[in-house]
Amino acid sequence: MKGLVYHGPGERSWDSVDDPGIVEPGDALVRIDSSTICGTDLHILKGDVPEVLPGTVLGHEAVGTIEEVGPGVSTLAVGDRVLVSCITSCGRCRFCKEGRYGQCLGGGGWIFGHLIDGLQAEYARVPFADNSVHKVPDALTDEQVLFLADILPTSYEVGVLNGVLRPGDLVAIVGAGPIGLAAILTAQLFTPGHIVAIDLDDGRLEAARRFGADVTVNNGRQDAVAAVMELTDGLGADVSIEAVGVPETFELAVDLVRPGGHVANVGVHGRGATLHLERIWTRDVTVTTGLVDTFSTPQLLKLVASGRLDPTLFATHRFPLGETMAAYDVFADAARSGALKVVLEGAATTSA
């Protein structure tokens, strides 16, 4: 089969690789019908995730069809259409029993495109299949559910829920890329008083308004802290969500928050950021970090099915799976291409 292979920092290619197969009783073999590229994949290519070894197939988000199941799989059958979550769960360890699937001690967690071959390929082996995929309702399209593999639950759990957003709160979201936009989309479930999107790119800020932000700030031309202070009588944001993953945006997120507020870091950081305790140690600020657990995916699927969430807004570009190299070029050059998320369509999807 073919897959997008990582060959070390800055190096990737669309290669012939060994076909996956059933290895453990709980495995499923999935034909990939739709996949996508994540900002984390770009971090891997920058060398920010050294655990990813050269030769690994990248990708951790997909919708596909079950081709084969191991003898230990009891809830899935050949032909089932499934959302493959970015997080797998052994279901037995301490953290899985607590719903912290991202911290799985039994061989799961974030493994696709990280510790094992991922989902930007024609086929993939899915460990712990009973616990790690979600059947897709017949009425929903691939694009309606594809972004529930990662960015929607990531922004919702690590950003909105960790930030303890409440009705009427002002939430400031630093970064209007796909993760920031997903935070805007899911923050609306809690009817905040204001959603403030902060970015350096006017095109991303325009997208933020489409997704539901009512205030946008270009912090290359405006003072973001002053703008938020003006909206809050000088107090600051109730919730500040960092959605980029560079030191400057983390430090800005902390500067934006009010005494007693919450800073929820979602961005993937490849280098250290400074926490200015000399400025905030008296301010009762809570700072949270996290890897998505995807415990919210069933809830988000219901919200999509009922029309309360529309993730199709993310899909700006579509490519056949065989053109994944070109899709990476477009996604990585989002400032010029305007890409939010690219959809990689497998042979079955393309022919349909």
Domains 2-150+294-351 and 153-288 equal at CATH topology level: no
**Top-tier CATH class for 153-288:** alpha beta
pLDDT digit string, tens, across residues 4-15: 999 999 999 999
Give the sign of the dihedral formed by CA 107, CA 111, CA 117, CA 122: positive
Domain boundary assignment for the chain: 2-150+294-351, 153-288
pLDDT digit string, tens, across residues 116-166: 999 999 999 999 999 999 999 999 999 999 999 999 999 999 999 999 999
Return the pLDDT at 352: 40
Return the pLDDT at 351: 40
Inter-helix orientation angle 247-256/224-231, to 10°: 20
C-alpha distance across the termini of the chain, in Å = 20
CATH number at 2-150+294-351: 3.90.180.10
Beta bridge pairs of residue 31: 65, 123
48 band by pLDDT with thresholds 50, 70 and 90: confident
Core vs surface per residue 90-124: b (16+ CB within 10 A) or e: bbebebbeeebbbbbebbbbbbbbbebbbbbbbbb
pTM of the predicted model as reported, rounded to 2 decimal places: 0.95
Return the pLDDT at 348: 57
pLDDT digit string, tens, across residues 192-224: 999 999 999 999 999 999 999 999 999 999 999
